[in-house]
Structure 1
Amino acid sequence: MTAPSCVFCRIVAGTAPATVVDEDERTLAFMDINPGTRGHALVIPKAHAEDLYAVDPQDLAACAVAAQRLALRARDGLGAAGVNLLNACRPAAWQTVFHFHVHVVPRYHGDGLVLPWRPRPGDPAVIAEAAAALR
């Protein structure tokens, strides 16, 4: 399935430009044009799915495996000291392109990127309530 108005579907079809770095039967990986660090890439399923809620479980698994391949290449080929994987699902979570994708962001000591929140202890009652809702 493809969505003609989706830029990532056009990349899969070869009608929009991209610097492809990995491909298999289910996934395509290409360089992010707005990189957070050197080597920042995106992994997408070839089949269109709007977001994490909609992606086929097998495509999701294939994207995770492809992201791991890229993480290893970032470590071995670029000298990355670590990697962040990021998925944004829906606008409230910063999603701007509505085709499921995983950011593979190589990390380097002193690269200047920071987490979007500052971890701090949570309220145990709120944590327990959320855990109950998730069960």
Structure 2
Amino acid sequence: MGECVFCRIVAGAEPCHVVYEDERHLGFLDIFPNTEGFSVVITKQCLPSDIARADDHVAAGLFEAARRVAVKIAAAYDDVDRCAIAFEGMMIDHLHAKVIPLHRTAGLQPSPESGTTARGDRYFEAYPGYVTTEIAASRANDEHLAAVAAKVNSQGRR
């Protein structure tokens, strides 16, 4: 077992407020939430935090555990119809997912009006320390999108 805070939580050396547990995963409330119900789901085994480099079965297992937490959170709040699940992993190097309740989404149907709207023409050349689903005010250039797609597709399956 490693020495990060998530390893200490799994070992019982740090307290947490559990919302989910199975043989390979532990879900608990984030102690620095930006919305009520914000949860973290971790692997009990200490693994590097980059989901893209995790074994397929490990990544699938973590996603399924996070999905189960999302179902529980949505059921617990009358105003939550769905949750966002993020695999950022930049703060703690231990494989985990963040499950974020989308409060006041009950009854909303997916549409441009119910989603994120542009609040400016922000485009990040470098990671700013957070992720957002806010859309840009300007549509991306198709030539640039084609070049990006070619770059990504040149890497094959993995």
| RMSD, aligned CA | 1.9
Q: Please, which of 40, 45, 48 is the counterpart of residue 46 of structure 2?
A: 48
> Aligned partners of 1:83 and 1:33: how far apart in 2?
18
Superimposed CA distance per residue, residues 46-89 of structure 1 (whole angstroms, 9 cap, x where no aligned partner): 11112124433222111111111111111111221321111214
Unmatched tracts of structure 2, length 5 or more: 106-115, 117-130, 154-158
> Aligned partners of 1:58 and 1:30: how far apart in 2?
22
Superimposed CA distance per residue, residues 6-33 of structure 1 (whole angstroms, 9 cap, x where no aligned partner): 1101111111111111111111101100
Structure 1 stretch displaced more, 73-82 or 23-32 = 73-82
Q: Is the 8 A contact 1:49 1:100 kept in 2?
A: yes
Q: Is the 8 A contact 1:27 1:45 kept in 2?
A: yes
Matching residue of 2:148: 130
Deviation at 1:40, TM superposition (A): 0.8
- Kindly indicate whether residue 1 of structure 2 is the aligned counterpart of residue 7 of structure 1: no
- Kindly indicate whether residue 43 of structure 2 is the aligned counterpart of residue 69 of structure 1: no
Q: How many residues align?
A: 125
- Kindly indicate whether residue 54 of structure 2 is the aligned counterpart of residue 38 of structure 1: no
Matching residue of 1:101: 96
Matching residue of 1:92: none
Q: Which amino acid aligns with 1:122?
A: A
More helix by share: 1
| Rg comparison, structure with higher value | 2
TM-score (norm 2): 0.71
Unmatched tracts of structure 1, length 5 or more: 90-94
Larger RCO (CA under 8 A, 6+ residues apart): 1
> Aligned partners of 2:57 and 2:44: how far apart in 1?
12
Q: Is the 8 A contact 1:49 1:56 kept in 2?
A: no
Q: Could you say what secondary structure the match of 1:103 adopts?
A: strand
What percentage of aligned pairs have identical amino acids? 31
Q: Is the 8 A contact 1:26 1:59 kept in 2?
A: no
Matching residue of 1:116: 132
TM-score (norm 1): 0.82
Deviation at 1:117, TM superposition (A): 5.8
